[in-house]
């Protein structure tokens, strides 16, 4: 809408200047004030109107987004809740709060809930844990240092939380240490992304670190992968290749793909 307003004002100025040039060839440049003054006053009036319900561009955009969704023109998977809360201000926020209770698509509900939570609440430990699907007793048993590592991870990987339809954290035993590792699962619109949180040593200090699982699965296989992880329908296997250790340095073989 702003583009239309700017284009209209620019076109009006151009037409006015051309008209003065055609009708007053010799003195056209002395008559530009007859164009500039009314255009300036008109533009001032339009700018004032944009701050009232008469020309509420944000409200128009919000209504357009919601109407396209409810009419089926925009599919739930293509609807972007973060755009409404980030770009359309209070009206977008209010519309999302209402929409959350009036739609049936569970994945979109989840993304709206995440968008509203991240917009209306600071990213604290409690906010983060509320977004993660995990039994309450397991949440309460999480090591404090791990929760802190999760907060840092969330602040540096906001895209996972913005796009996620489901976030999960599962304890898993991936090595021979007594402490469990934790598998973080982000089911986004386009892929299932996996991170592992584990106790490691950096510069002689033990702490929780995170690493990628090598494969990101796209397309229909993502749902199969997610269901297998949820139901513990997987096995843990030893790596094919061992590492090379030189002092404190470990060299690992990684696939190029």
Q: What is the mean pLDDT of residues 3-12?
A: 80
Helical H runs in the chain?
Answer: 2-23, 33-49, 57-70, 81-87, 89-99, 106-120, 125-131, 136-140, 144-156, 158-163, 221-230
Same domain, residue pair 147 and 228: yes
Residues 141-170 have pLDDT tens digits of: 899 999 999 888 888 887 777 667 788 899
Same domain, residue pair 199 and 100: no
Does 135 have pLDDT greater than 80?
Answer: yes
Predicted pLDDT of residue 103: 84
Global pTM exceeds 0.75: no
The whole-angstrom separation of Cα 140 and Cα 33 is 72
Structure tokens, 49 = 């109107």
Same domain, residue pair 186 and 144: yes
Q: Whose CA is closest to 58, among 26, 30, 86?
A: 86
Are the C-beta atoms of residues 231 and 238 closer than 8 Å to each other? no
Cα–Cα separations (whole angstroms), residue 226 to 15, 19, 167, 188, 195: 60, 66, 11, 11, 13
Q: Which of 120, 138, 154 is the last residue of a domain?
A: 120
Buried b / exposed e across 74-89, counting CB within 10 Å, b at 16+? bebeebbbbebbeebe
The distance between the two most distant Cα atoms of the chain, rounded to a whole number of Å, is 92
Same domain, residue pair 39 and 63: no
Total number of domains constituting the chain:
3
Q: What is the mean pLDDT of residues 20-48?
A: 79
The whole-angstrom separation of Cα 81 and Cα 84 is 5
Cα–Cα separations (whole angstroms), residue 35 to 47, 49, 67: 18, 21, 39
Q: Which residue has the higher pLDDT, 133 or 57?
A: 133
Same domain, residue pair 134 and 35: no
User: Long-range contacts for 48-56 (Cβ within 8 Å, ≥24 apart)?
Assistant: 50/5, 55/1, 56/91
Are the C-beta atoms of residues 226 and 192 closer than 8 Å to each other? yes
Predicted pLDDT of residue 182: 92
Q: Which of 37, 54, 71 is the last residue of a domain?
A: 54
Predicted pLDDT of residue 2: 64
Same domain, residue pair 187 and 224: yes
Residues 51-109 have pLDDT tens digits of: 666 667 777 888 888 888 888 888 887 888 878 877 777 888 888 888 888 888 887 88
Residues 21-34 have pLDDT tens digits of: 888 877 877 777 88
The whole-angstrom separation of Cα 40 and Cα 16 is 13
Residues 184-234 have pLDDT tens digits of: 988 876 778 888 898 887 777 888 988 887 655 555 556 677 778 888 888
Does 256 have pLDDT greater than 70?
Answer: no
Predicted pLDDT of residue 257: 38
Structural domain of 13? 2-54
Question: How sure is the predictor about 253, in pLDDT bands with cuts at 50, 70 and 90?
Answer: low
């Amino acid at each position: 809408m702003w583009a239309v307003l700017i284009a209209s004002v620019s076109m009006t100025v151009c037409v006015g200047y051309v008209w003065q040039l055609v009708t007053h060839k010799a003195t056209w440049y002395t008559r530009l004030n007859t164009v500039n003054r009314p255009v300036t006053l008109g533009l001032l009036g339009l700018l004032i109107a944009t701050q009232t319900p008469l020309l509420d561009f944000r409200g128009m955009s919000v209504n357009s987004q919601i109407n396209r969704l409810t009419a089926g023109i925009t599919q739930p998977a293509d609807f972007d809740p973060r755009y409404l809360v980030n770009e359309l201000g209070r009206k977008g926020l209010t519309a999302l709060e209402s929409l959350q209770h009036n739609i049936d698509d569970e994945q979109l509900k989840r993304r709206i809930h995440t968008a509203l939570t991240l917009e209306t609440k600071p990213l604290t430990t409690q906010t983060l844990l509320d977004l993660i699907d995990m039994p309450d007793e397991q949440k309460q048993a999480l090591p404090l240092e791990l929760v802190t590592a999760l907060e840092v991870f969330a602040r540096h990987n906001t895209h996972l939380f913005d796009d996620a339809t489901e976030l999960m954290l599962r304890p898993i035993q991936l090595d021979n240490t007594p402490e469990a590792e934790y598998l973080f699962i982000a089911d986004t619109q386009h892929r299932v992304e996996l991170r592992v949180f584990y106790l490691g040593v950096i510069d002689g200090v033990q702490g929780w670190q995170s690493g990628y699982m090598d494969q990101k699965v796209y397309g229909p296989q993502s749902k199969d992968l997610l269901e297998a992880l949820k139901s513990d329908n997987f096995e843990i296997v030893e790596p094919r290749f061992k590492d090379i250790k030189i002092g404190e340095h470990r060299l690992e073989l990684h696939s190029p793909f």
